Chain A
Amino acid sequence: GIQVEQSPPDLILQEGANSTLRCNFSDSVNNLQWFHQNPWGQLINLFYIPSGTKQNGRLSATTVATERYSLLYISSSQTTDSGVYFCAVLYGNKLVFGAGTILRVKS
């Protein structure tokens, strides 16, 4: 099956700092999604991005499908950005998740 690897596993930031999260996958995929799991456990859709670049406020994402990776950029981080960030790829008709990046933003 497909392997989805996220890095770094943990990240601590000072409020206002920028960060880049990475997602590597081992095979061609039909879809890639980024999620934020907040401290209450809710999964929030950030991006649906099988290829190209998208931006939404302070967040942006880029997927280079031919090189099998995606990047999530967080600029001017806020304490509300804390939580776990997951990438997930659609492989066949199944969504396969990475293990996540735990982000802690300190004030």
Chain B
Amino acid sequence: NAGVTQTPKFQVLKTGQSMTLQCAQDMNHNSMYWYRQDPGMGLRLIYYSASEGTTDKGEVPNGYNVSRLNKREFSLRLESAAPSQTSVYFCASSEARGSRSSYNEQFFGPGTRLTVL
């Protein structure tokens, strides 16, 4: 099992450019999440998808859109990148349903380091 995978690992954009960050999980998890991590801070939730076909805003959704393509894949799109979106982006997933007591445990991908000039 690869767990949670993210592409690309690194990206440099110019202000105003657009791009999509890709995330996939092979754990048959129901819920998926996008976070950003800024220097010296913990992670903050951008958007999440509780189940296939649903998406909801998190703490810092402005400037982003998401698509839950299928149960495995959850993408994050920056339509017009701004320097304030320079950050490390993490995708995560959790089972979020079931009889195991740890069904809410979240597992993280390796991150995408994005720089907007």
Query: Which A positions have Cβ atoms within 8 angstroms of B?
Result: 4, 30-31, 33, 35, 41-43, 45, 48, 86, 88, 90, 93-100
Query: Which B positions have Cβ atoms within 8 angstroms of A?
Result: 31, 33, 40-45, 48, 50, 58-59, 88, 90, 92, 96, 102, 104-108, 110-111, 113
Which residues in B have their C-beta under 8 angstroms from that of A99?
40-42
Asked if A97 contacts B107 (CB within 8 A), the reply is no
B49–chain A nearest beta-carbon distance, Å: 11
Asked if B104 contacts A31 (CB within 8 A), the reply is yes
**Chief secondary structure at chain A's binding surface:** strand
Q: Which residue in chain A gives the minimum CB-CB distance to B59?
A: A94
Asked if B90 contacts A97 (CB within 8 A), the reply is no
**Taking each of B45, B48, B102, B106, which has the highest tally of chain A beta carbons within 10 Å of its own beta carbon?**
B106
Asked if A41 contacts B110 (CB within 8 A), the reply is yes
Interface pairs (21), CB distance under 8 Å: A4-B42, A30-B104, A31-B105, A33-B105, A33-B106, A35-B108, A41-B111, A42-B110, A42-B111, A45-B108, A86-B43, A90-B104, A93-B31, A93-B48, A94-B48, A94-B58, A95-B43, A95-B45, A95-B92, A99-B41, A100-B41
Which residues in A have their C-beta under 8 angstroms from that of B104?
30-31, 48, 90
A93, B59: Cα distance in complex, Å: 12
